[in-house]
A and B are shown apart, each in its own frame.
Chain A
Amino acid sequence: MGRAAFDEMTGRPNGQAAEGVRSAYAALKEWLETCPPDFFDTRRSQAELFFRRIGITFAVYGDNQSTERLIPFDIIPRVLTKPEWELLERGLKQRVTALNAFLGDLYGAQECIKAGVVPADLVYRNPHYRLEMLGCPPPHGVYVHIAGIDVVRVDEDTFYVLEDNARTPSGVSYMLENREVMMRLFPELFAQHRVAPVENYPDALLKTLRSVAPLTATRDPTVVLLTPGRFNSAFYEHSFLADKLGVELVEASDLFAKDDVVFMRTTEGPKRVDVIYRRIDDDFIDPLVFRPDSVLGVPGLMAAYQAGNVTLANAVGTGICDDKAVYTYMPAIVRFFTGEEPILNNVPTWCCREKEALSYVLDRLPELVVKEVNGSGGYGMLVGPHATKRELDEFARKLKHDPDGFIAQPTLSLSTCPTFVASGVAPRHVDLRPFVLTGADEIRIVPGGLTRVALKEGSLVVNSSQGGGTKDTWVLDG
């Protein structure tokens, strides 16, 4: 691995004597040092009990042994100062504003293609670029209502955007439940810190969703949350959010479209639906337009959407922003659409579709992280420094075979945070997924987000499907 990582508590590279402490962590460090170990042990088992009781689980694909798992929760919070958060907040708003403008342009005038900001074939050949959206602006022009922007930190001053999740980002229920359990377990700590609340997220989400109701909706628009059903890995989150929002949790069979209007079947007869917060991918939402074998979708939904009678959040066709090759053009996209320098930068990235980049990547494979352009959740990824010779050879072959399908990044030394592990408290790498809400009226971000932590020593993979855990994220208010 490259240089040692920045530790968010000590402010020093890992491995060096951890004498000092950054002021944001001062109280926390003292707490860690003064509380007896068995105190933490009981609290940890209490936390686990809490999560088990509420049934907050997720399913892991291709794992027959235990398809329903608890994501490990670490009771040591991750702390961000107010100035740090303000920087992030400005950067996130700028980035999401650019994403929305970018999508509006891609499905509209296509100025950014004409100006050469992004290559045409990268757009047109991308399966997530949905022609159905051409010339069909969504209500109020908002495409990405809910964005999960993954951010990593490498030193005191530098945050990078690792990836944009503009389709159906998940994890926000963990942000909320983590806070809930922390407040129950450690009221004393909260009294010592002024932690900005996150519990207003559902309220902000509902405001956002209602603000983008179609013009043909009544003043009291009906919002629903569309789930693929209880066998979906994120079903807990869907039912949790529907409950908190006070909206119906619907499956496709609860909805139908008639004469370009969407209705839900209720005991009182058909009820018009105005806004659908859908947690189903584009491919599955309408079997007449996308995958014909989909049973998760609503026939005629796209026609109603195109007629402007229903809002889908997020809009159809936002997946192109999640594409890792498109990601590499994001700094230029931000400049083009906001006229500003990006506040949050990308991780330096080599787009293997470019010849020089490919040969550079092939030369330095053992130092790099290689990702599939269309992969997600840490699947189909090579972490060079941790890979065996065979894995490296395998990836080199894949890269030569399909360079368009991959990007590469340096092995970032993601910042670390103190984390409980078997041997006690030790630094572990973390990232951050804040959730950015864009409505017709304003952009809302609750302070914080979901901090994911790689529990294995030295590991950089924070995905829950690959042994990652979560932490509560504190933004100190003053």
Chain B
Amino acid sequence: MRVRIVHDTIYRYDRPVRALVQALRLTPRDHDGQHVLRWRIEPSADGRLTPREDSLGNIVHMFSADHALDEITMRVSGEVETADTSGILQGSVERVPDPFYLRETELTAADEAMRAFAVSASGDMSADPLGCLHRLLESIHRQTAFDTDTTHVATTAREAFAQRSGVCQDLTHVFIACARHLGIPARYVSGYFFRADGVVEQDAGHAWAEAKVPNLGWVGFDAANGISTGEAHVRVAIGLDYLGAAPIRGTRQGGGSENMDVKLRVERGRPPRQMQLQVQA
């Protein structure tokens, strides 16, 4: 499927901001199920934009603004060709060994209740780990209410689990925390999701988890939708948790309070129009 994305992140400041610096994890890479046809990042302000690769293999652009500004829009747009691989990830950029993805972080630490839940929801890991992870995914999806008002960017997996509600970020953190407790390396993926119901305008990007299934490889688990990842998913960046994969991390000097707004369109891309040869009338 060809997915077309236009993603604007708009920051408005009370007072002019000096020295704005942002780290942008907004650029997808190719793997077997995904081919980037075209992609660009366009800041609305002048500045220096330099690409790098981080230690996990994500493409990170560092942006630093040249002048003070009251407002800035970071626009990313492009088209990606995706294919369904039953959630199995192949051909991706891997820079660090699997045990790294067992590392616990503040956002993904499990507590006693989550550990117990992970074990009971998944069943016996040794026999059929993939099946176990699917059962875990289903349980989390079933018993967690999708609610944009109960959590925020810094909500931990423990908090989200305790209140049984949250957004894709929170469900993903819960899944990751449980998987790691079961000894399965797991990581956070930020990206985009094409909605089959025809809704094009979205409020935010998407997030899901990947878990390293023994003898199979990395597999995508979308806890918010309760499914394996497929051709509707456009994979952008990975991390141990949201912080490691966050699309935009920024710092600034001055500016007073800040207001952030996201405008995102994810739609089916049209194949290139047939070029008509012009003929003389």
Binding site for B on A (CB under 8 A): 120-121, 124-127, 131-132, 134, 256-259, 287-289, 292, 299-300, 303
- Determine the chain A residues whose CB is within 8 A of the CB of B97 once the complex forms: 120, 124
Besides the contacts A121-B99, A132-B54, A288-B249, what 6 more A-B pairs have beta carbons closer than 8 Å?
A120-B99, A124-B97, A124-B99, A131-B100, A134-B95, A300-B21
CB contact between B55 and one of A126, A131, A288 (< 8 Å): that residue: A131
In the assembled complex, the Cα of A126 lies from the Cα of B243 at a distance in Å of 17
Binding site for A on B (CB under 8 A): 19, 21-23, 48, 52, 54-56, 62, 64, 95-97, 99-100, 102-105, 243, 249-251
For residue B54, which residues in chain A have a CB less than 8 angstroms away from its CB?
A: 132
Is B249 a contact partner of A292 (Cβ separation < 8 A)?
yes
Which residues from chain B contact A300 at a C-beta distance below 8 Å? 21, 62, 64
A–B pairs, 28, beta carbons within 8 Å = A120-B97, A121-B99, A124-B97, A124-B103, A125-B99, A125-B100, A125-B102, A126-B103, A127-B105, A131-B55, A131-B56, A131-B96, A132-B54, A134-B55, A134-B96, A256-B19, A258-B64, A259-B48, A259-B64, A287-B249, A288-B22, A288-B23, A288-B249, A289-B23, A292-B249, A299-B21, A300-B21, A300-B62
Q: Quick check: B64 and A288 within 8 Å, CB to CB?
A: no
Query: Which A residues are in CB contact (< 8 Å) with B52?
Result: 303
A127 near B103 with CB under 8 A, answer: yes
Instruction: Say how far A127's CB is from chain B's closest CB, in angstroms.
Output: 7
Give the docked Cα–Cα distance between A300 and B62 (Å).
9
Q: Is the CB of B100 within 8 A of A299?
A: no
Would you give the shortest CB distance from B214 to chain A, in whole angstroms? 15
What residue of chain B has the Cβ atom nearest to residue A127's Cβ? B103
Could you tell me the distance between the alpha carbons of A257 and B23 in the complex, rounded to whole angstroms? 13
Taking CB atoms, residues of chain A closer than 8 Å to B62 are 300, 303
Smallest CB gap from A293: residue in B: B154
The answer to whether B102 touches A299, judged by C-beta atoms less than 8 angstroms apart, is: no
CB distance from B104 to the nearest CB of A (A): 8
A288 near B96: Cβ-Cβ < 8 Å? no
In the bound complex, how far is the Cα of B25 from the Cα of A289, in angstroms? 12
Which A residue sits closest to B55, measured CB to CB?
A131
Nearest 3 Cβ contacts at the A-B interface: A131-B55, A299-B251, A124-B100
User: What are the residues of chain A within 8 A of B48 when measuring CB–CB?
Assistant: 259
Contact partners of A258 in chain B: CB under 8 A = 64
* Across-interface contacts of B64 in A (CB, < 8 A): 258-259, 300
Q: Cβ of B105: which chain A residues have Cβ within 8 Å of it?
A: 127
Whether A125 and B55, one on each chain, are in contact in the complex, defined by CB atoms closer than 8 angstroms, is no
In the assembled complex, the CB of A6 is this many whole angstroms from the nearest CB of chain B, namely 42
Q: Tell me how far the C-beta of B95 lies from the nearest C-beta in chain A, rounded to whole angstroms.
A: 8
Chain B residue nearest to A131 (CB atoms) is: B55
Q: Which partner residue on chain A sits nearest B180 by CB separation?
A: A125
Verify A124–B102 contact, CB threshold 8 A: yes
Q: What's the least CB distance linking B26 to chain A, in Å? A: 14
Q: Which residues of A contact B249 (CB under 8 A)?
A: 287-288, 292
Q: Which residues on B sit within 8 Å (CB–CB) of A131?
A: 55-56, 96, 100
- Across the interface, do A121 and B102 meet the contact criterion of CB distance under 8 Å? yes
Q: Is the CB of B103 within 8 A of A292?
A: no
**Max chain A CB contacts within 10 Å: which of B95, B100, B250?**
B100
Q: Which residue of B lies closest to A122 (CB)?
A: B99
Expressed in whole angstroms, the Cα–Cα distance for A125 and B19 within the complex equals: 35
Bound-complex Cα distance A257 to B251 (A)? 12
> Which residues of B sit under 8 angstroms from A127, Cβ to Cβ?
103-105
Q: Are B21 and A288 closer than 8 Å at their CB atoms?
A: yes
Question: In the complex, how many angstroms separate the beta carbon of A298 from the nearest chain B beta carbon?
Answer: 9
CA of A29 to CA of B262 in the docked complex: distance in angstroms?
Answer: 76
Q: Which residue of B lies closest to A306 (CB)?
A: B52
Q: Which residue of A lies closest to B246 (CB)?
A: A292
**Complex-state Cα separation, A126 to B99, whole angstroms:** 10
Known pairs A288-B21, A292-B249, A300-B62; A132 contacts B55 (CB<8 A): yes
Within the complex, the shortest CB–CB distance from B154 to chain A, in Å, comes to 8
Taking the closest CB of chain B, its distance from the CB of A137, in whole angstroms, is 14
B residues near A289, Cβ cutoff 8 Å:
23
Q: CA A125 – CA B251 in complex, angstroms?
A: 28
Q: Once the chains are docked, how many angstroms separate the CA of A259 from the CA of B63? A: 10
Residues of chain B within 8 A (CB-CB) of A287 are 249, 251
Chain B residues lying within 8 Å of A259, measured Cβ to Cβ, are: 48, 64
Is the CB–CB distance between A125 and B96 below 8 Å? Answer: no
- Whether B251 and A124, one on each chain, are in contact in the complex, defined by CB atoms closer than 8 angstroms, is no
CB distance from A95 to the nearest CB of B (A): 27
Q: How far is the CA of A287 from the CA of B22 in the complex (A)?
A: 10
Please name all residues of chain A whose beta carbon is closer than 8 Å to the beta carbon of B103 when the two chains form the complex.
Answer: 124-127
Nearest CB on B from A288, distance (A)? 5
Report how far A132 CA is from B56 CA in the complex, Å. Answer: 9
Which residue of chain A has the shortest Cβ distance to B97 in the bound complex? A124
**Structural contact, B56 and A292, CB atoms closer than 8 A:** no
Contacts of B102 in A (CB 8 A): 121, 124-125
